Chains A and B, each alone.
Chain A
Amino acid sequence: MKDGLEVHGDVSPRHDPYRYWVTGILFELGVFAGFAVVVLAMTVVLALLFRG
């Protein structure tokens, strides 16, 4: 049905977003850390290359 309030189907374990929340948040924070390190490394190199 279109309207969410009228849908009362169970959520299968495969689709349960609460299932892996601990590893999920750790994974997300790890990805952010990795990305931040890459961006910082790139900007440090550029800042040194283009130092005024």
Chain B
Amino acid sequence: MWIRLRRDDIAVIVHYTGIFVAGIGLVMLVPLITAIVAGEWAPATHYVFGMGVALLVGMSMTLVQPGYTRIRHQHALMIAAFSWLAAALVAAVPLALSPNYPTYLDAAFDAVSGLTTSGLTVVVDLDHMALSHNMWRHLTHLIGGQGIIVAALSLAFGLRGGAFALYLAEGRDEKVLPNVVNTARFIWFVTGVYLVVGTGVLFIHNLIRGMVASRAFLHALWIFIAAYDTGGFAPQSTNALYYHSWVFEAITIFFMMAGTLNFNLHAAVWRGNRQEIFRNIETRTLAISIFVISALVAIGLAREGIFGEPLEAVRKGAYHVISAHSGTGHQTLYPSQWATQFSEMAWIGIVLAMGLGGGMSSTAGGIKALRVGLLFKSIARQVRHSVSPRSALIQTRYNHIGRKVLTSDTTVLILIMFTTYFLSYLTGGIIGTAYGYPLKAAMFESVSATANVGLSMGITSPNMETGLKVLYMVQMWIGRLEFLAVFALIGHVINGVPRRRKPRAA
């Protein structure tokens, strides 16, 4: 039964959503400073205006004072769903003022894609985009990858009660540290360490490849953010293909893998528990899945012989399997090459990798490796159960930051998530075909949007139909929040509509 929201409940939701919206306005200081340093005066005004809108809207919303400040689970789900949507709409304001986005919807598409770390883009003339706008696009990956709520929590940003409920509502599963604020700060610490290492290595690579220092640094920073936050944006329209460098591809593979790893696993390893990375069901599932799908793609590409040299096929195949499985979406192919140069077998491998996704409590999307691993454990348990005597008590254990017992409730939850993801993939594919696109391309794009990957077969473009732009935005949004928060929001909206009662018979 749905509990109808009272005035105080709505006030809590509006108040806290306002805090997150105002926070987005504050982060716009970074592209504003970039614009001033680069002497980009027109984009600078876009960010002054964007900050003004975000702060005005956000602060106005915080003026709505609830009677109580404690956030319940029900509020947390609604705040998460609203905050991500409101943050994207506000983040789109400065982009909409740039000449690279013909309409506000196009800017909102890229803002949703950036915040959800998807990487699909409808930008026009990316190669001549202002540095400040490129900075903002990539920053949306960083804010969204860490989690808007995690970002606010790490600053203990006006949140008084119910922080853990908010943390869970954003699609994360457990705390690393007893205090959820410290957990959020630890997530930033891991990112900060990787950011220094990743940007440094890519900067050296870019310098050696002949870029001037300032450009080498900005490209290194943006590519690192896009790879580690499993986003997929790039400063050039040809994405990772622009660099034509196997060293670049090898470096980004490391950071895509680091980004797709569960933050709890990083914490376990950084506490000195090295064995956890080998024992954990999530890393084992990821490793097996990447191994099998890489084999599938390698055979598929080699048999067709399109890439000429077998090593070229391996390079293209392995890079895209990691990019798809981690949910990053960096690609070293032109979109049309997916249809013309990837065999059916290799294509299936990439779609599977995108759909299965990366680790829980990471920046990756998709069904998630933990659920895939536990689904196979559940199947094995069912088989054991069916061949054992009726009285036998069968207990299945798995390793995920300690030994845990697989319960029937967990299995049911996993099946619900599998079904929901599958239905979303399928629905998007069917709607794509209704717009006249081939099934293969429509399914590819739908899975890429829901799983927040960002690989594209070419449907996603500035000329894409408005309906499809909205569809993919919704898919990216619900995929990032793992459905529950958005379903709760829809349920409450439907429940809030007054119904006409049937007159009683006299």
Residues of A within 8 A of B (CB): 2-9, 11, 14-21, 23-25, 27-29, 31-33, 35-36, 38-40, 42-44, 46-52
Contact = CB atoms under 8 A, between A and B. Distances in A.
B254 A42 contact: no
Given A5-B160, A19-B272, A35 B287 contact: yes
Contact of A4 (B183, B197, B271, B290): B183
Nearest to B160: A5
Contact of B310 (A6, A7, A51): A51
Given A27-B274, A28-B266, A36-B254, 9 more contacts: A3-B161, A4-B180, A4-B183, A5-B180, A17-B176, A17-B266, A17-B271, A40-B314, A43-B294
B64 interface: no
8 contacts: A3-B162, A18-B270, A19-B271, A24-B269, A39-B294, A47-B314, A52-B302, A52-B303
A1 B176 CA distance: 15
A6 B42 CA distance: 46
B277 A28 contact: yes
A50 B176 contact: no
B272 A20 contact: yes
B248 interface: no
Interface stretch (B135-143, B186-194, B460-468): B186-194
Given A3-B163, A20-B271, A47-B314, A11 B257 contact: no
> By CB atoms of chain A within 10 A, which of B179, B194, B287, B317 has the most?
B179
Nearest to A11: B177
A24 B179 CA distance: 22
B439 interface: no
Nearest to B70: A3
B311 A11 contact: no
Given A20-B272, A32-B258, A4 B314 contact: no
B151 to A, nearest CB: 16
A17 B298 contact: no
B438 interface: no
Interface residues of B, number: 56
A46 B314 CA distance: 9
Contacts of B156: 5
B400 interface: no
A19 B177 CA distance: 13
Interface string B264-285: 0011011110100100000000
A21 B193 contact: yes
B271 A14 contact: yes
Nearest to A9: B178
A27 B261 CA distance: 14
B243 interface: no
B181 interface: yes
Contact of A47 (B163, B165, B302): B302
Q: Which of B161, B177, B298 has the most CB of A within 10 A?
A: B298
B269 A4 contact: no
A32 to B, nearest CB: 5
B80 interface: no
B299 A50 contact: yes
Contacts of A5: 156, 159-161, 163-164, 179-181
A3 B167 CA distance: 10
Identify which of B189, B250, B303, B310 gathers the most chain A CB atoms within 10 Å of its CB: B310
A14 to B, nearest CB: 7
A47 B186 CA distance: 42
Given A4-B180, A36-B253, A42-B295, A20 B314 contact: no
Contact of A40 (B178, B183, B318): B318
Given A17-B186, A28-B277, A50 B164 contact: no
Given A5-B179, A20-B271, A47 B301 contact: yes
Given A21-B193, A35-B287, A42-B295, A28 B310 contact: no
Nearest to B177: A11
Q: Which 5 A-B pairs have the closest CB atoms?
A: A4-B180, A52-B305, A24-B270, A47-B310, A43-B298
